[in-house]
C-alpha cells in the first residue's frame, strides 16, 4: 500500500471516529439536560428532596442492570442495530416522561431510560476504542473523554435557553437522542463489526481477566460521585462559602475536561498502565494536600478522571472483538457500582471522624489500588 492509500485509509477511519464521538457527545448533552430538568419539575410539584433523590437514582440503577446483557444483544442483533434501536427508544421514553409528569410513573420510566441508553453508550465507546489507531489511541480517547465531560456539562446550559417548563426542554432532549441516532446511522457502514469476531465473552467471564482494571473504574466512578456530592459538605466544615465551593467544583470539572488529551498524549509516550498509576498516586497526594492547598483541585480533577481515561485506553490495548464489548459492558457495570458504593462509604466516614473522613476515605481507596498495582506488577 502506498502513502496515498495509507493516508486515504486513515482519513476514512478518522471520519468514522468523528461520527461516533459526535453521537456520544449529543447523547451526553441529552443526559446532562434530563437530570436537572426532572429535579426542577419535581421540586415545583412539592416533592420532597428524599423522593427526588430516589427518583434520580432510578436512572443509574437502570444503567447498571442491562450491562451484562449488552454483549448478547450485540451478538444477537448486531451492534449497529442495537445502538440505533436504543437511540430511538431513548427518545420515546423521554417523550413518555414529558407526557406523564407524575413522580410515581417516573420511577419505572427513569429506570427504563437508563436501561435503553446503556447499550448505546457502551457500544459507542467500543467503536471509538476499536477505530482508534494504536499509535494515536491515547489522544483519541482523551478527546473522547473531554467531549463526554463537556457534553454532560453543556446539558444544563441548554435549560438556560429553553427554560424548564412545558414541552420545549423535552423537545430538545428528544431531538438530541434522535440526532444521536442520525449521527450514528451516517457512519454505520464504516464501523467495525466488533461484536462478531472471536469467541463470545460474557461480562462475568471478562471480570477475572481484568479485575484490576475494573477496580480502577470503580475507584474513578466512586471518587467523582463522592466529590460532587460531599465536597460542598466538606467545604462548609471549613467555613467556605457556597459560592466559592461552587467555583472550586467548577475548577475541578474544568481540570477534568482540559487535561484528558494531554494525559492521553502522555499515555502514547509511556503506557496507559503507567500513566494510570501516576494518576492514582497524584490523586492520593491531592487527598493529602486538600485541606491546605485548595488550588490543587484543578489537577485533582484531571488525574482522578484520568484514571478512567487510562483504563479505557488500556482496555483497547489488551482486548478486541467480543471481549472488548464485554469489557466495556463490565466498565459500565463497575461505574455504577462505584457510584453507588463509594459516596455512602465516604459519607459514613465523615459522620464518624468529621469532614476529614472524605479525603481520608478517598485517599485510602486510591492508595490501596496503587499498592495492589505495584504488587501485581512485581508478580508478573
Q: Under a CB-based contact definition with an 8 Å cutoff, are residues 115 and 79 in contact?
A: no
- Asked if 192 contacts 74 with a C-beta cutoff of 8 angstroms, the reply is no
pLDDT for position 216: 93
For residue 193, what are the contacts with CB-CB under 8 A and spacing of at least 6? 78, 79
Q: According to the model, what pLDDT value does residue 89 have?
A: 94
pLDDT at residue number 7: 42
CB atoms within 10 A of CB 163: 12
For 184-248, give the DSSP string. HHHHGGGS--TTSSSS---HHHHGGGSHHHHHHHHHHHHHHHHHHHHHHHHHHHTT--HHHHHHH
Q: Which 3 state secondary structure label does DSSP give 277? A: helix
- Axis-axis angle for helices 70-77, 79-100 (nearest 10): 120
Does the CA dihedral 128-134-135-139 come out positive or negative? positive
Question: The cell 435549560 sits on which residue?
Answer: 159
pLDDT for the residue numbered 294: 65
Residue 12: its H or E element? helix 3-44
pLDDT at 276: 93
Domains of the chain: 3-190 (1.20.1250.20), 203-379 (1.20.1250.20)
Q: Which of 71, 174, 126 is nearest to 312 (CA)?
A: 126
> pLDDT at position 93, please?
93
Cα-flanking dihedrals φ and ψ of residue 355, to 5°? -60, -30
Q: Write the DSSP assignment of 326-349 as a string of letters.
A: HHHHHHHHHHHHHHHHHHHHHHHH
User: pLDDT means per 10 residues in the chain (380 residues)?
Assistant: 41 74 83 79 79 78 84 85 91 93 89 89 87 85 86 77 85 89 86 65 84 92 80 78 72 83 91 92 87 75 90 88 86 85 85 86 92 80
Provide the pLDDT for residue 293.
Answer: 64
The residues, any chain, with a CB within 8 Å of residue 77's CB and separated by 6 or more, are 85
SS3 assignment, position 356: coil
| Other Cβ atoms within 10 Å of 187 Cβ, number | 20
Q: In the Cβ-directed half-sphere of 213, how many Cα atoms lie within 13 Å?
A: 24
pTM of the model: 0.81
Amino acid at each position: 500500500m502506498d502513502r496515498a492509500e495509507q493516508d486515504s485509509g486513515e482519513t476514512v477511519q478518522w471520519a468514522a471516529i468523528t461520527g461516533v464521538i459526535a453521537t456520544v457527545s449529543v447523547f451526553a448533552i441529552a443526559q446532562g439536560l434530563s437530570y436537572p430538568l426532572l429535579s426542577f419539575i419535581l421540586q415545583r410539584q412539592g416533592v420532597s428532596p428524599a423522593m427526588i433523590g430516589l427518583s434520580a437514582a432510578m436512572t443509574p440503577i437502570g444503567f447498571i442492570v442491562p450491562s451484562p446483557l449488552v454483549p448478547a444483544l450485540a451478538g444477537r442483533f448486531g451492534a449497529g442495530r442495537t445502538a440505533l434501536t436504543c437511540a430511538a427508544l431513548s427518545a420515546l421514553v423521554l417523550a413518555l416522561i414529558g407526557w406523564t409528569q407524575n413522580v410515581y410513573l417516573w420511577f419505572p420510566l427513569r429506570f427504563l431510560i437508563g436501561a435503553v441508553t446503556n447499550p448505546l453508550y457502551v457500544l459507542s465507546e467500543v467503536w471509538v476504542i476499536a477505530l482508534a489507531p494504536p499509535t494515536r489511541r491515547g489522544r483519541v480517547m482523551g478527546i473522547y473523554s473531554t467531549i463526554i465531560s463537556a457534553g454532560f456539562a453543556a446539558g444544563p446550559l441548554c435549560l438556560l435557553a429553553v427554560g424548564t417548563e412545558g414541552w420545549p426542554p423535552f423537545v430538545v432532549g428528544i431531538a438530541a437522542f434522535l440526532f444521536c441516532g442520525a449521527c450514528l446511522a451516517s457512519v454505520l457502514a464504516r464501523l467495525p463489526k466488533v461484536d462478531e469476531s472471536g469467541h463470545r465473552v460474557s461480562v462475568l467471564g471478562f471480570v477475572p481477566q481484568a479485575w484490576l482494571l475494573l477496580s480502577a473504574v470503580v475507584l474513578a466512578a466512586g471518587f467523582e460521585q463522592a466529590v460532587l456530592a460531599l465536597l460542598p459538605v466538606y467545604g462548609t466544615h471549613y467555613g467556605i462559602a457556597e459560592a466559592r465551593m461552587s467555583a472550586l467544583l467548577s475548577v475541578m470539572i474544568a481540570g477534568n475536561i482540559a487535561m484528558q488529551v494531554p494525559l492521553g498524549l502522555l499515555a502514547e509516550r509511556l503506557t496507559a498502565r503507567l500513566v494510570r498509576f501516576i494518576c492514582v498516586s497524584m490523586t492520593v497526594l491531592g487527598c493529602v494536600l486538600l485541606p491546605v492547598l485548595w488550588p490543587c483541585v484543578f489537577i485533582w480533577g484531571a488525574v482522578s478522571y484520568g484514571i478512567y481515561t487510562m483504563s479505557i485506553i488500556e482496555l483497547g490495548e489488551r482486548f478486541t472483538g467480543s471481549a472488548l464489548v464485554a469489557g466495556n459492558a463490565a466498565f459500565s457495570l463497575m461505574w455504577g457500582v462505584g457510584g453507588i458504593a463509594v459516596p455512602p462509604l465516604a459519607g459514613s466516614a465523615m459522620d464518624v471522624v468529621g469532614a476529614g473522613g472524605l479525603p481520608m476515605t478517598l485517599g485510602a481507596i486510591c492508595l490501596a489500588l496503587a499498592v495492589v498495582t505495584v504488587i501485581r506488577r512485581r508478580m508478573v
